[in-house]
């Protein structure tokens, strides 16, 4: 059986402070600590080698029961981490308080129990933790029963029941918004921008939901933030730039007016700021873009933002949009200077980097290298996108990467290979019923013109005529917002114009 790597990944994820705390906790226990030997051995490994561990501790009794020893160590590390973060996480504080409430109640220490219930309820209300609030009200009702049995009737049960109903409504309301978020997130992660009526119908179904289009339907700040986030993601998916900026600005405003929300769900706050980047890129407001990038980077070491998942998201978002800004402005060398540090950091983060992030950066690297005239390096990058396609992930990027691949090979003058690649790419689109039945005119028009371009590749005068016709037809398509999305992946129009002007793509991009 293949050895499990879960323990290895957990050990390697620990910070110096977390390791120090784990060792301190372990030192408080008496007796032989084989799990510390195992911990130290795993910590020293660059890659997990179970056979190496067995060989290192051969002859010692505990190694004969390695699976159970690994499981024991895994649980101890998690226990140590729970203690380490017990004062930093609202969920951990509330969970600990509820556990203490149960202990006090079972010891019939009802007065002390009541004080803790009231204290915990205030925390749960301030942080809109409705699940914990519901649990605390349950304990409050149990304490009321004890008071009634003692002849105390000075508290109103109806108020407690009314509060319980209110909490249930808020909990259900938030859950429904989170379901809508999951739906629109799935649509965007799968296909990116909407391109036709069928795709827009999926988004419109979410936009038309009574909780999204209705007024004052959110029953909490957290629900309101999720509502506007859903609206913003719908707007991005429909390529409605101004609307997306409006909605994500409202999300950011809610967070910044309620610091507890930032503390509780910092990733949603970071993602909301990141979604504002799209607007500044589209509007060409690079000054505000870079200001926002610096603002996000300043969070990295602040309390609440020093989690590894938040650090990764800040790193990816800021570097991705900084590179896009350089690409759009034609500052390709600046973008290329960022590539090696980004690649090294992504490698360091390893499996914590999502497949979507790898695909997005691979496509962006290809764009930047192409702009700098480094066509062979650009081809290597676009091949990482084409050869590592996930069937349900960002099919928009994969689809346009196939077109971009043709352009790169054209610049490399691989005309014989292009004849095969164009046919293969055309088959890909024609097999895709969505492309043929619903539209996607840009792709099919581009391929039609590109086939003519290859035929005239060695005859400048004729190829010039084909390029002029190609420019005209694609510019006509650009009148349609759905087709204009193609330029988000590569500036095909500027490339054609550069060929017509006998200039490099990068040169014309800078001039524009």
pLDDT digits (tens, 9 = 90+) for 219-242: 999 999 999 999 999 998 888 889
**With contact defined as beta carbons under 8 Å apart, do 386 and 421 qualify?**
no
**With contact defined as beta carbons under 8 Å apart, do 369 and 381 qualify?**
yes
pLDDT in tens, 82-97: 888 777 788 889 999 9
To the nearest 10 degrees (0 to 180), the angle between helices 157-191 and 395-411 is 20
**pLDDT number for residue 84:** 83
pLDDT band (50, 70, 90) for residue 275: very high
Average pLDDT over residues 124-152: 88
Average pLDDT over residues 176-185: 92
Average pLDDT over residues 179-192: 83
Tokens of 56: 């290192």
**pLDDT number for residue 390:** 62
CA atoms of 330 and 372, how far apart (whole Å):
9
**pLDDT number for residue 185:** 87
CA atoms of 508 and 491, how far apart (whole Å):
11
For 377-412, the DSSP string reads HHHHHHHHHHTT--TTS-HHHHHHHHHHHHHHHHHT
**With contact defined as beta carbons under 8 Å apart, do 355 and 393 qualify?**
yes
The Cα-based distances of 259 to 86, 88, 228, 344 in angstroms read 20, 15, 17, 34
Q: Compare 461 and 61 and report the one with higher pLDDT.
A: 61
**With contact defined as beta carbons under 8 Å apart, do 234 and 206 qualify?**
yes
User: What is the per-residue burial (b if ≥16 Cβ within 10 Å, else e) of 62-72?
Assistant: ebeeeeebbee
**pLDDT number for residue 391:** 60
**pLDDT number for residue 28:** 77
User: Could you tell me where the DSSP H helices lie in 330-394?
Assistant: 332-349, 355-371, 375-386
CA atoms of 384 and 386, how far apart (whole Å):
6
CA atoms of 197 and 480, how far apart (whole Å):
13
CA atoms of 457 and 91, how far apart (whole Å):
65
pLDDT band (50, 70, 90) for residue 432: low
pLDDT band (50, 70, 90) for residue 436: very low
**pLDDT number for residue 437:** 45
Neighbour tally for 371: CB within 10 Å: 28
In this structure, which long-range contacts are made by residues 109-116, counting pairs with CB atoms below 8 Å and at least 24 apart in sequence? 110/143, 110/146, 110/147, 113/139, 113/143, 114/140, 114/143
* pLDDT above 60 for 271: yes
* pLDDT above 60 for 3: no
**pLDDT number for residue 376:** 96
Task: Count each helix (H run) and each strand (E run) in the chain, helices first.
Answer: 28, 0
- 283 Cα distance to chain centroid: 23
Q: What is the pTM of this model?
A: 0.82
Give the mean pLDDT of the chain.
Answer: 88
For 422-466, the DSSP string reads HHHHHHHHHH-HHHHHH--HHHHHHHHHHHHHHHTTT-HHHHHHH
Q: Compare 339 and 90 and report the one with higher pLDDT.
A: 339
**pLDDT number for residue 458:** 64
Neighbour tally for 302: CB within 10 Å: 11
CA atoms of 356 and 33, how far apart (whole Å):
42
- 402 Cα distance to chain centroid: 24
- Collect all residues with Cβ–Cβ distance below 8 Å to 403 and sequence separation of at least 6: 425, 443, 446, 447, 486, 489, 490, 492
Tokens of 472: 């005209």
CA atoms of 442 and 475, how far apart (whole Å):
10
Lowest-confidence range among 306-310, 393-397, 477-481, 500-504?
393-397
pLDDT band (50, 70, 90) for residue 415: confident
pLDDT band (50, 70, 90) for residue 1: very low
- 455 Cα distance to chain centroid: 43
* pLDDT above 50 for 435: no
* pLDDT above 80 for 496: yes
Q: Compare 450 and 148 and report the one with higher pLDDT.
A: 450
**pLDDT number for residue 253:** 97
* pLDDT above 70 for 2: no
Lowest-confidence range among 13-17, 144-148, 210-214, 441-445?
144-148
User: What is the per-residue burial (b if ≥16 Cβ within 10 Å, else e) of 122-132?
Assistant: ebbeebbbbeb
End-to-end CA distance of the chain: 59
* pLDDT above 90 for 247: yes
**With contact defined as beta carbons under 8 Å apart, do 472 and 466 qualify?**
no
CA atoms of 274 and 268, how far apart (whole Å):
10
SS3 192: coil
Please tell me what DSSP assigns to residue 85.
T
CA atoms of 229 and 23, how far apart (whole Å):
42
**With contact defined as beta carbons under 8 Å apart, do 442 and 484 qualify?**
no
Average pLDDT over residues 284-303: 91
* pLDDT above 70 for 501: yes
* pLDDT above 90 for 292: yes
CA quadruple 297, 301, 302, 306: dihedral sign: positive
CA atoms of 418 and 427, how far apart (whole Å):
14
Cα diameter, the chain: 102
* pLDDT above 80 for 364: yes
CA atoms of 462 and 85, how far apart (whole Å):
70
């Amino acid at each position: 059986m293949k050895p499990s790597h879960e323990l290895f990944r957990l050990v390697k994820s620990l910070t110096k402070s977390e390791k120090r705390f784990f060792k301190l906790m372990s030192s408080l226990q008496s007796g032989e600590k084989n799990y510390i030997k195992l911990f130290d051995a795993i910590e020293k490994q660059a890659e997990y080698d179970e056979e190496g561990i067995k060989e290192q501790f051969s002859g010692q009794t505990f190694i004969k029961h390695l699976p159970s020893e690994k499981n024991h160590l895994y649980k101890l590390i998690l226990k140590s981490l729970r203690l380490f973060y017990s004062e930093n996480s609202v969920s951990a504080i509330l969970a600990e308080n509820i556990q203490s409430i149960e202990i006090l109640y079972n010891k019939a220490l009802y007065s002390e129990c009541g004080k803790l219930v009231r204290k915990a309820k205030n925390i749960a209300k301030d942080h809109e933790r409705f699940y914990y609030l519901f649990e605390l009200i349950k304990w409050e009702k149990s304490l009321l029963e004890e008071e009634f049995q003692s002849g105390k009737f000075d508290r109103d049960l109806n108020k407690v029941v009314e509060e319980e109903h209110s909490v249930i409504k808020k909990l259900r309301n938030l859950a429904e918004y989170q379901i809508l978020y999951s739906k629109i997130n799935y649509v965007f992660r799968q296909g990116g921008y909407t391109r036709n009526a069928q795709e827009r119908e999926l988004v419109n179904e979410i936009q038309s939901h009574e909780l999204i289009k209705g007024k004052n339907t959110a029953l909490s700040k957290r629900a309101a933030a999720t509502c506007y986030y859903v609206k913003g993601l719908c707007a991005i998916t429909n390529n409605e730039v101004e609307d997306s900026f409006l909605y994500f600005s409202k999300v950011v405003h809610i967070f910044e007016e309620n610091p507890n929300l930032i503390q509780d769900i910092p990733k949603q706050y970071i993602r909301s700021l990141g979604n504002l980047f799209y607007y500044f890129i589209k509007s060409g407001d690079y000054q505000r873009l870079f200001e926002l990038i610096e603002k996000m980077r300043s969070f990295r070491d602040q309390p609440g933002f020093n989690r590894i998942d938040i650090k990764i998201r800040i790193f990816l978002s800021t570097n991705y949009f900084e590179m896009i800004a350089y690409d759009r402005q034609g500052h390709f060398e600046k973008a290329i200077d960022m590539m090696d540090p980004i690649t090294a950091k992504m490698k360091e983060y390893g499996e914590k980097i999502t497949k979507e992030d790898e695909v997005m950066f691979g496509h962006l690297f290809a764009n930047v290298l192409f702009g700098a005239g480094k066509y062979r390096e650009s081809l290597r990058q676009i091949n990482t996108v084409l050869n590592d396609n996930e069937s349900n992930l960002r099919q928009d990027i994969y689809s346009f990467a196939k077109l971009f691949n043709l352009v790169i090979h054209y610049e490399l003058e691989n005309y014989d290979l292009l004849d095969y690649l164009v046919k293969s790419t055309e088959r890909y689109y024609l097999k895709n019923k969505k492309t043929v039945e619903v539209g996607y005119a840009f792709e099919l028009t581009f391929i039609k013109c590109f086939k003519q371009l290859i035929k005239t590749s060695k005859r400048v005068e004729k190829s010039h005529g084909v390029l002029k016709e190609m420019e005209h037809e694609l510019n006509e398509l650009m009148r349609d917002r759905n087709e204009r999305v193609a330029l988000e992946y590569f500036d095909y129009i500027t490339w054609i114009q550069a060929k017509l002007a006998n200039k490099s793509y990068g040169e014309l991009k800078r001039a524009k």
